Amino acid sequence: MPLRTAHTYMLTPATLDEIRTFLDTAFEGDFSDDDWDHGLGGIHVYVRDGSGLLAHGSVVQRRLIHEGRSYRIGYVEAVAVRADRRREGFGGRVMAGLEQVVDGAYAFGALSASAAGAALYAGRGWQVWPGRIAVQGRRGVERLPDEEGSTYVRGAAGRVLPAASGTLIFDWRDGDVL
């Protein structure tokens, strides 16, 4: 089963509908319209067989500020594996494809991990950010304490992560803050 890679604009409406339905099922109804929007506009990596999608993930560009410097980063979104095919390596294959995009296009990668997904990311060398997490909201910088301890970062090939301290301030997008 080949790994497929495509930018959002290259995917047909039927394929996008298939991916959205897959994510709704994989996240057991806990995948919002904002979550869907966050995963669009970048590179999708997925695996499909004759029965349909087995795994999916995407990486989108975000801006991040750390200690007064702005970074263009690859933010990993919408990573899921079909429930009946978990623990078969499909998540790792999708992540390898996403990491290749991060390595080639961004200063570093970041993602917010669920408790169920954390082991996959840690096992691939992603590290929990030890500092604070915030977002540039409508009312200025707003801390996101619920994201602390579940935000992972990974240096792109040949690039150094920012010093592992302080606050990562992500660009604002719908669904992050009210």
CA distance 69 to 86: 39
State the pLDDT at residue 158. 65
Residue 152 has pLDDT above 60, yes or no: yes
State the pLDDT at residue 177. 62
Q: How far is CA 157 from the centre of its chain?
A: 17
Rounded mean pLDDT, 145-153? 93
Instruction: Give the type of residue at 26.
Output: A
- What are the sequence ranges of the domains in the chain? 3-170
State the pTM of this model.
0.94
- Going from the C-alpha of 86 to that of each of 19, 32, 72, 78, 80, the distances in angstroms are 17, 22, 32, 15, 9
**Mean pLDDT of the chain, nearest integer:** 92
Could you give the angle at the alpha carbon of 91 between the alpha carbons of 176 and 37, nearest 5°? 30
Residue 173 has pLDDT above 90, yes or no: no
Task: Note the CATH number of domain 3-170.
Answer: 3.40.630.30
Residue 170 has pLDDT above 80, yes or no: yes
Instruction: Give the type of residue at 64.
Output: L
For residues 119 and 87, the answer to whether their CB atoms sit within 8 Å is no
pLDDT tens digits along 56-106: 999 999 999 999 999 999 999 999 999 999 999 999 999 999 999 999 999
If pLDDT is split at 50, 70 and 90, which confidence band does 164 have? confident
**What residues form DSSP beta bridges with 108?**
155
CA distance 2 to 82: 16
**Which is more confidently placed, 18 or 162?**
18
State the pLDDT at residue 165. 79
Rounded mean pLDDT, 34-56? 96
If pLDDT is split at 50, 70 and 90, which confidence band does 175 have? confident
pLDDT tens digits along 105-141: 999 999 999 988 999 999 999 999 999 999 998 889 9
Secondary structure in 3-state letters for the chain: CCEEEEEHHHCCHHHHHHHHHHHHHHCCCCCCHHHHHHCCCCEEEEEEECCEEEEEEEEEEEEEEECCEEEEEEEEEEEEECHHHCCCCHHHHHHHHHHHHHHHHCCEEEEECCCCCHHHHHHCCCEECCCEEEEEECCEEEECHHHCCCEEEEECCCCCCCCCCCEEEECCCCCCCC
Torsion of CA 106, 111, 117, 118, to 10 degrees: 100
